[in-house]
Chain A
Amino acid sequence: MLEAIGVSSVQELFDRQIPETVRLRKPLALADGRGEQDVYAHLRELAQRNTSAEDELSFLGAGMYDHYVPAIVDMITERSEFLTPYTPYQPEISQGGLQAMFEYQTAISELTALPVSNASSYEGPSALAAAGYLAKLHNGRRRFVISAGLHPHSAETLRTHARGYGMEVDEVPLRDGVTDAQAWAEAIDAETSAAFFAQPNFYGNVEDAEALTEAARRAGAQPDRAGQGDPGKANGADPIAGAGSPGDANRSGAGPPVVVAQVDPITLGVLKAPGECGVDVAVGEGQPLGNRLDFGGPSFGFFAAREEYLRRMPGRIAGETVDVDGRRGFVLTLQTREQHIRREKATSNICTSQALNALAAVVYLSWLGRAGIVELGELLLARTHYAREALCAIEGVESFSEQPVIREFALHLDADVAAVRRRCKEAGVNPGVDVYALTGRARDRGLLLVALTERRSRADIDRLAAALKAALAAEREVVSV
């Protein structure tokens, strides 16, 4: 091969191309390579030093949940034909992947009751931040309003991204465990670019999504009370502000903000869908839909919207078309939104996303099916209420609120949460998330967040109750001694 190239050594190839002064003239300080069996043994040993949901009775949630992943999800996503291709830039030989994206988009559209979905986003919180960027491009205003019920990772991620493109973020507090409706309406005005809430919220409580959406639309459509916010001045630095672009009408006049809901997709067989509530954009963490926990990723984010936002959506979108023989086929469509065509004027920089994870989701949703998504939601609802009642019957435990919950709920413990959790874990039960340890917010002190999946039976809940009761009693004893 070197002869064909016309060089005498491999060395020469590099000597001719890389300046001597930036060559690495020593071996990388890494361990020597090892055979497959040795590497496997090492990774297995590392895995064994983790306590997974296989090893304890776990009620951890707060964004990712230990749902059952059916065997066919593994079987299909492990197929070479889905596992190893690149993004489908050549549609003639990528119809499998493209059709799967199209089916995924259909499933997400059905779940959210919104007409359009992209082919996937990275994960939940960054999908929410991407919705913020869409709103900025859409109306060019300068302020986001978020509910304190957003997952803290979502709120933080939005703030990080919003700082980048110069957007203020104001937070509306909770009242009785849900978004304070009055403060919400007051915070939103004609300068509000987008308003964000979570359903269910971070504490597991079901929000009145319809009322929040209506209130946001009403408040945002009115002229600013302070008389300072003239929407006509809001021009922003919209990179897509070409004549006739879809946002222009809205940008030059008053109009409601973009209402964004972050939703838990597993609840959507039961809870009123974002589209039914009038929401503009629904985003969320897709992990509950057939994806592994994987210590936090890879999973996927979903992103669905009303039709008018289609041309500003981030990420890949599969669309239907025909080939030269009139045969039905699928392509990546509306690519003029994207970075590889539009470069600095793109609606997002996203390139590689989460196609395989989205495939897992559509296989999972097909497995669950039209009846299953409802049955699973009802089961979670019933078991979650049973669990909240059972745990609140324990001395030293109080419910965080009386709001309806569907798959997760917060409890107030009258003992050190970290200490109680340690005791429960000694009994083989991980009782849930220490909220303060996650958020670091003073208001979250003493809160335990307990999540249910269909894998946690009544007997498991009873075992949790017993462990929690014993742990609290033991803690009281320590304190009284």
Chain B
Amino acid sequence: MSAPSRTHPSGRGQALSAQIDGQPPLQRDPAVTIFQKGAPSRRAFVCPELDVPAAAGAELLPERFRRSQAPALPEVSEPEIVRHYVSLSKRNFDLDSGFYPLGSCTMKHNPRLHERAAALPGHARLHPLQDADCAQGALELMFNLQRALAEISGLEHVCLAPSAGSHGELAGVLLTRAYHEARGEVRRKVLTPDTAHGTNPATVTMAGLEVVKLATNDAGGVDLDDLREKADSDVACLMLTNPNTLGLFDPNIEQIAQIVHGVGATLYYDGANLNAVMGLSRPGDMGFDIVHFNLHKSFTQPHGGGGPGAGPIAVSERIAPFLPPGLVKRGEDGTFAFAPTAPSSIGRLRGFHGNYGCFVRAYAYICSLGGDGLRDASETAVVNANYLLARLQQTVEPDVRSHLPLAYGPSREDGGQLCMHEFVLSGGPMRRALGVKTVDLAKRLLDFGFHPPTVYFPLLVEEALMVEPTETETKETLDAFADAIAAIIGEAIEDPQIAQNAPYSTPVRRLDEVAAAKRPVVREQR
């Protein structure tokens, strides 16, 4: 975790040159894919014996339906497979190895109890078309999770089915459309602030509606004048993240809700930042009609290097008739079953009932923490973010604050600023003063053993650096990260090239992404 500067005023640590010029780390072996390994007829799989009469192949399947050449899958032994993927794993950074303050991604600890529970055969080998009377445990779990998410969001009706956040968003926009259509209205526009996640506008287009951007005011919230101007009878919905991607809770949320509801539109809550407000404030109470949750963010489903996730939605009474299939209800006799799908439903969004394996983990998390524990988690997440922000803004030697100022945020009496569970710094001054861009800072952080924050998002902040520490990090880790940022700025003041050419200690160094996109090679060549 320590890769301090060779010239840092504090003089701590070893010489950087050892990393730049020394022996390459072990994970620097040339990249060789599994398709380049092995040898003809080498194998791991032993096929079960053919225990039925061996009919002539053509008798069972006409020749014209048969494949002419076997797919060229790897020919490798089990030990080769294990070595290969274990060695690949060592070329990955992961949450269990170090701090991962990726903004709007909520990289909190993934308790291993959840993996153990999800792997129980009663969950893991349960077929999705098992009869309800033979899946009562699973249905009860889903029912309980629906109830818990309803309570957390303050919205009564929950559908667990969407596969991820963006899938939940699509459900939300389709629900909005269906709601308006049922009232005989065709509304074409969806308002999204310019701070919105990219999935919001992409979703709107996929749902056949049109994106209208809303401006951000000086305090980092929705510009109410712009909203009043754009809110008209053609607006179907406003999609909002609160706290938003600047890490700020919009203090005008009730006014926003009034304006949006005033023109008959719905209010959609992107739950990516729910980790700031669990048990403290509820989207339903703020006036939202539709919420999606990211079980892989707020509720500890491990992210898996890019999924799986799950994106359940919760909606108000007026949206409920349009929900997709997959709602679990409890009958009068206490048994559980899937509710019949209403004729007014927007229809199915995917196969079966959703990512149940993620439900098991999220439910285990909620059971472990309970209501008070969830509130504590959010409180600690906000304290951690504010502490890290304060540490960074108070570091004077070198002057971190002038290089990386907070982009937006309410002031404290003593001149400092506050945030919710994450905050966004601007690397603009750093770039102008030192010629070091946010991407350089991020790459140099890799040498210090940290995953960098989210960079260049939200788009309205110059050289944005979006930091979300989460509640599961210790003060020591936050301090070490603040020290690393200070050290990088310190060394950049001396020699900006150190950051500009970073990283040095990783399995590969900066990669040519332009070449990759220009002449795409997306599979191993034969």
Chain A residues with Cβ below 8 Å from B169 are: 349
A157 touches B348 (CB 8 A): yes
Chain B 41-55 interface mask (CB, 8 Å, partner A; 1/0): 111110110111111
B198 touches A340 (CB 8 A): yes
B477 interfacial by beta-carbon distance below 8 Å:
no
Task: Tell me whether A85 and B93 are in contact in the complex, defined as CB-CB below 8 angstroms, given that A122-B163, A346-B198, A370-B70 are known contacts.
Answer: yes
**A-binding segment of B304-312, B398-406, B425-433, B491-499:** B304-312
**A-binding segment of B11-19, B261-269, B370-378:** B370-378
Give CA–CA (A75, B148) in the complex, Å: 32
Contact of B354 among A5, A297, A331, A349 (CB under 8 A): A297
Chain A residues with Cβ below 8 Å from B214 are: none
Give CA–CA (A111, B510) in the complex, Å: 32
Task: Tell me whether A379 and B303 are in contact in the complex, defined as CB-CB below 8 angstroms, given that A160-B347, A272-B66 are known contacts.
Answer: no
Give CA–CA (A342, B206) in the complex, Å: 13
A96 touches B92 (CB 8 A): yes
Give CA–CA (A6, B35) in the complex, Å: 57
Give CA–CA (A39, B369) in the complex, Å: 10
B contacts with A, residue count (CB < 8 A): 203
B304 touches A153 (CB 8 A): no
Chain A residues with Cβ below 8 Å from B73 are: 107, 110-111, 365-366, 368-370, 372-373
**Quick one: which of A273-326 are within 8 Å of B by CB?**
273, 276, 285, 292-298, 300, 310, 316-325
B307 touches A18 (CB 8 A): no
CB distance from A247 to the nearest CB of B (A): 16
Chain A residues with Cβ below 8 Å from B372 are: 27-28, 32-33
Task: Tell me whether A24 and B279 are in contact in the complex, defined as CB-CB below 8 angstroms, given that A5-B387, A60-B129, A165-B206 are known contacts.
Answer: yes
CB distance from A16 to the nearest CB of B (A): 6
**B-binding segment of A46-54, A219-227, A252-260, A464-472:** A46-54
Chain B residues with Cβ below 8 Å from A52 are: 121-127, 130
B50 touches A379 (CB 8 A): yes
Give CA–CA (A457, B48) in the complex, Å: 9
Chain B residues with Cβ below 8 Å from A53 are: 121, 125-127
**Quick one: which of B395-430 are within 8 Å of A by CB?**
410, 412-414, 416, 418, 420
Nearest residue, chain A, Cβ from B363:
A43
**Quick one: which of B265-319 are within 8 Å of A by CB?**
277-282, 285-286, 294, 296, 302-310
**Quick one: which of A320-345 are within 8 Å of B by CB?**
320-325, 327-331, 333-336, 338-345
Nearest residue, chain B, Cβ from A304:
B523
A156 interfacial by beta-carbon distance below 8 Å:
yes
Q: 28 A-B Cβ contacts within 8 A?
A: A16-B410, A16-B412, A18-B277, A24-B282, A27-B371, A28-B374, A32-B371, A46-B138, A76-B85, A86-B95, A88-B306, A93-B503, A95-B31, A96-B91, A164-B206, A166-B208, A293-B125, A297-B163, A298-B163, A298-B357, A340-B457, A345-B205, A349-B203, A375-B45, A376-B45, A385-B52, A433-B129, A458-B51
A-B contact count (CB 8 A): 719
Chain B residues with Cβ below 8 Å from A107 are: 73-74
A47 touches B383 (CB 8 A): no
A126 interfacial by beta-carbon distance below 8 Å:
yes
B179 interfacial by beta-carbon distance below 8 Å:
no
A324 touches B89 (CB 8 A): no
A92 touches B61 (CB 8 A): no
Task: Tell me whether A333 and B522 are in contact in the complex, defined as CB-CB below 8 angstroms, given that A24-B279, A86-B107, A298-B357 are known contacts.
Answer: yes
Known: A70-B44, A84-B304, A92-B506. 5 other contacts (CB 8 A): A33-B367, A35-B368, A81-B89, A119-B306, A365-B73
Task: Tell me whether A298 and B355 are in contact in the complex, defined as CB-CB below 8 angstroms, given that A27-B371, A30-B371, A50-B136 are known contacts.
Answer: yes
Chain A residues with Cβ below 8 Å from B125 are: 52-54, 66, 292-293
Task: Tell me whether A24 and B281 are in contact in the complex, defined as CB-CB below 8 angstroms, given that A5-B416, A60-B130 are known contacts.
Answer: yes
